[in-house]
Amino acid sequence: MRLYIIYGDDFGERVVGNLVNFSNFCTSCGEACGHCRIEYGSFASDIVGVDRIPPNLPNFIEEPEKYLPKNPPRCDIIIAIGLHQDLLASLPLLVEKTQAKGVIVPLEDPNWCPPGLQKQVEDELNNMGVAHAFPKPFCMLEDSGHNTIIDQFIKKYRVGKPIVQVSVDNDTITRTKVLQSAPCGSTWYVMKQIEKRSINGINERISEAHHAYPCTASMQVDKTLGDTVLHVAGYAIRGAVQEAINKATEKKTELTQKTQIGIKQTS
């Protein structure tokens, strides 16, 4: 799969960094690093282009083509992050040039793409037959179940809404595993920070780690969400960990019950 990333906000660098997975991207463990991200690998070869739109653009852009890359690479998916609204409105032009089959527009800030603009772009992409997603925030991107190219993106790069596993012993999280990470890579950081921690009060520790990464989602209340984008991102990782804890404790309970039944039957 060929990925083209165009961005106007520093968040774009986090997404690229996570996909490239360079050696010092995550600093969760410091010198005690266990290199857990090695299993993720690197998808640098899939990134056919990265363009940063310069800052301090005019408030109104009458000819957005002047500010968009002149010769963007052919690709399968465009990830457009934090673009000026007038450039975002011209995203279909970029799709035509790149022949992209899918577009992902992460919304980490309510100001990046108002609902009216989102609908306008979505309508144009629908008319072009191009798959699209506007996750708010990026870590709320989920598989639609229809095997679209965006679903394939989620499966291949293991990014989107966090999915994790944990092992629990005596109410303590003994091991963690990232199955699907937030696209910024924060899930890897958070999961290492909660190892050897009690499941009691774990949400507080998750929130501390999530803020320490730090999450760059906006603290501005989003009218469509009824909450801040940052809080929604926090709920995503907390929900993922709680689900993993529930599965781990339920499995342990089942094993204990089976063992007890086995002992009774042999006695």
C-alpha span between 87 and 23 (Å, rounded): 33
77 and 145: one domain?
A: yes
Please tell me whether residues 20 and 150 are part of one structural domain.
yes
Query: Cβ atoms within 10 A of the Cβ of 243, count?
Result: 15
Clarify whether residues 137 and 43 are in a common domain: yes
The pLDDT assigned to 253 comes to: 60
User: Do 151 and 30 fall within a single domain?
Assistant: yes
Do 69 and 201 lie in one domain? The reply is: no
Rounded Cα–Cα distance for residues 112 and 110 (Å): 6
The answer to whether 139 and 162 are in contact (CB under 8 A) is yes
Q: What is the pLDDT of residues 250-261, one digit of tens each?
A: 866 655 554 454
Give percent above pLDDT 90 in the chain: 84
Question: Domain boundary at 157, 189, 204, which?
Answer: 157
Residue 32: per-residue pLDDT: 73
List CB contacts of 260: < 8 A, sequence separation 6 or more. none
Residue 170, pLDDT > 90, answer: yes
| 101 and 210 together in one domain | no
Same-domain pairing of 149 and 36? yes
pLDDT score of 92:
96
Q: Cite the beta strand spans of 26-155 per DSSP E.
A: 47-52, 77-81, 102-104, 131-133
125: pLDDT confidence band, cut at 50, 70 and 90?
A: very high
Domain residues for the domain of 183 are 163-266
Query: How confident is the model over 74-120, as pLDDT tens digits?
Result: 999 999 999 999 999 999 999 999 999 999 999 999 999 999 999 99
Instruction: Provide the pLDDT for residue 212.
Output: 92
> Is there a single domain that holds both residue 147 and residue 173?
no
pLDDT at 239 over 70: yes
